[in-house]
Amino acid sequence: MVVRGGDHGTIPMPDARKRPCSICRHWFRPDPRVGARQRACSKPECQAARRKKTQARWRAAAANRGYARANRILKRNAAESPPEPVRVPAPLHRLPWDVAKDQFGAKGADFIGVLSILLLRTAKDQFRAHRIDPTRVPGTLPLAPAKDQIRPAPY
Ligand SMILES: [Zn+2]
């Protein structure tokens, strides 16, 4: 008898509480704590294979979400395809954007433009953070105190 897994199987079961393992196809009695959700028997190799399958499904789902996000960006680009390249602020406007458009196409040039604006904005934010509180930015050196301000540690 060929047993195929699945919740809607029409295979007559010898024992209603038993089900075929989705890995080794042997009939097993599900753990009552797991119940109908249990698809694999308790053999370690079946449990390991089951975990592997679940992880692969999660990875595939995550990849699909990534594709969906990329698709949304592409669709937005298509919908709002500007007739001229993205307007860039100084000093980016000094770059030869018409050359970029010729080289990479309108979309490529737009992407570079958006990327540049993003980097510029981030750099400005970082700079502002330094100005406001230099001690709070990780990776920056503490301000060196003047020699006469150095005191022994308070303990
Ligand atoms: Zn099994």
List the chain pLDDT tens, one digit each, 155 residues: 555 555 555 555 455 688 899 999 999 988 887 766 788 999 999 999 999 998 999 888 888 887 777 777 777 777 665 555 567 888 888 888 888 888 888 888 888 888 888 888 888 887 776 665 555 556 656 565 555 555 666 55
6 within domain boundaries: no
40 within domain boundaries: yes
Q: 63: CA distance to ligand 1 center in Å?
A: 29
Region of 112 (left: φ > 0; alpha: ψ -120 to 50; beta: rest) is: alpha
Distance between CA atoms of 16 and 36, rounded to whole angstroms?
Answer: 11
Q: Which range of residues forms the domain containing residue 110?
A: 82-134
- Domain identity same for 39 and 91: no
- Domain identity same for 62 and 33: yes
9 within domain boundaries: no
Q: 25: CA distance to ligand 1 center in Å?
A: 6
The tally of domains found in the chain comes to 2
- Domain identity same for 96 and 128: yes
Q: 61: CA distance to ligand 1 center in Å?
A: 25
- Domain identity same for 62 and 27: yes
